[in-house]
Structure 1
Amino acid sequence: MIDLTGKSVIITGAASGIGRATAILAASLGANLTLGDRTEEAGASVVDEIEAAGGTAQFVRCDVAQEDDVEALVCRCGVPVRTAGRRAQQRRPPQCRQRSP
């Protein structure tokens, strides 16, 4: 089995379906999760479930179609992300500001 202990993982669409299942699996493998979804109540419920099982997770409301939401999600994770591709080269990197949880 994969060991994700100490790894930071971002999962979008984490409030239901495959995203939720992936979050629960990643948490069981030791990952520190930052979960994103448009549905706050369901996302918070997944965090509660993960924490009740001894995992670590935080939720950030995120619509992946909105650039500012995605930047906020990445900044909350605290892990620098490099992306490849033409569009990524034209974009400025996220400017992470201190945000309250």
Structure 2
Amino acid sequence: MVLLHLGVREIPEVHIMKRWTKNACENLPEHLMIYKACNSALKDATYRHSSLYSKALEIVQMGDKNTEAYGAAMKQLLDAISVLNDINQ
């Protein structure tokens, strides 16, 4: 509000901390490299688990509507299990 009152339209570069920028992840210590923006979220086990879990619950809710939906959902899940078993061997 003060900057607006003074007529400043953007924050001067000298007042912007590097951790607030898109380049904040440069030169991170080794133990913080997992948070680096250029690392894919798919590498993070928590992200993968959460996204798979939410989609699985969505399938359960849709498959529970009627017997036809149940049959279709069960078939797709069994097919997915078969494919994943092959991939994970």
Whether the TM-score (by the shorter chain) exceeds 0.5 is no
Higher-RCO chain (CA-CA 8 Å, sequence separation at least 6): 1
TM-score normalised by the chain length of structure 1: 0.22
Rg larger in 1 or in 2? 2
Comparing both structures, which one devotes a greater share of its residues to helix? 2
TM-score normalised by the chain length of structure 2: 0.23
Comparing both structures, which one devotes a greater share of its residues to strand? 1
